[in-house]
């Protein structure tokens, strides 16, 4: 079936099998590889995308059900070639090691901070509890999120 997917502010008509997940379509059909596949059961957070501004596991969304909704992958955070301020905070704090969890961390963190400007470390810790990182021990990721949350409050 043909569906219209709105990905990173661009509408794309795509042929999908009803049984394909949004993750399959993003990676295998459209080549959007900044979305990662980890567990395939919604636990690890590597495949996080924003759907109408809220984080979802793209491995647990059937592609047809994402039609006509705003999908944002980490690539969509850039603005005119400039990294998003949260991405810059990740760079400043060295919050990236292998990078596999990074897109999910950024999108989950951003969606949370947009709803809770100035969120403290404890709240941020709770916000990313569904995103697994096996490298960093989370400390630098939280440093970066905290930094950006402070910035966002000053707005």
For 139, list phi and psi in degrees, rounded to 5. -60, -45
Q: How many residues belong to the site for other proteins (CB under 8 A)?
A: 30
Q: Which stretch binds other proteins (CB under 8 A): 5-13, 74-82, 121-129, 138-146?
A: 121-129
Residue closer to other proteins by CB (options 18, 117) is 18
Contact between 85 and other proteins by CB under 8 A: the answer reads no
Considering the complex, what minimum distance in angstroms separates the CB of residue 137 from other proteins?
Answer: 16
Residue closer to other proteins by CB (options 84, 116) is 116
Q: What b-and-e string marks burial along 33-68, b requiring 16 or more CB atoms within 10 Å of the CB?
A: ebbbbbeeebebbbbbbbbeeebbbbbebebbebee
Residues in CB range of 96: below 8 A, 6 or more apart: 90, 102, 136
Residue closer to other proteins by CB (options 62, 135) is 62
The DSSP call for residue 99 is -
Site for other proteins in 7-46 (CB under 8 A): 17-21, 40-43, 45
Q: Rule CB under 8 A: choose which of 48, 73, 87, 136 binds other proteins.
A: 48
Report the alpha-carbon angle 80-75-8, nearest 5.
Answer: 80
Among the listed residues 115, 114, 110, the one whose alpha carbon sits nearest the alpha carbon of residue 128: 110
Residue closer to other proteins by CB (options 85, 130) is 130
Residue closer to other proteins by CB (options 54, 92) is 54
Among the listed residues 44, 21, 24, 42, the one whose alpha carbon sits nearest the alpha carbon of residue 33: 24
Applying CB under 8 A, which residues contact other proteins?
A: 1, 17-21, 40-43, 45, 48, 51, 54-57, 59-62, 64-65, 108, 112, 126-127, 129-131
């Amino acid at each position: 079936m043909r569906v219209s997917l709105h990905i990173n502010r661009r509408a794309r008509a795509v042929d999908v099998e009803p049984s394909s997940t949004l993750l399959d379509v993003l990676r295998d059909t459209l080549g959007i590889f900044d979305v990662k596949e980890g567990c395939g059961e919604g636990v690890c957070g590597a495949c996080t995308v924003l759907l109408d501004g809220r984080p979802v596991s793209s491995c647990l969304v059937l592609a047809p059900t994402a039609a006509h909704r705003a999908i944002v992958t980490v690539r969509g955070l850039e603005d005119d070639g400039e990294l998003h301020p949260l991405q810059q905070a990740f760079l400043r704090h060295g919050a990236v090691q292998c990078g596999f969890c990074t897109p999910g961390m950024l999108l989950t963190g951003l969606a949370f901070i947009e709803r809770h400007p100035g969120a403290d470390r404890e709240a941020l810790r709770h916000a990313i509890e569904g995103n697994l990182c096996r490298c960093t021990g989370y400390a630098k990721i939280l440093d970066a999120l905290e930094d950006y949350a402070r910035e966002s409050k000053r707005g």
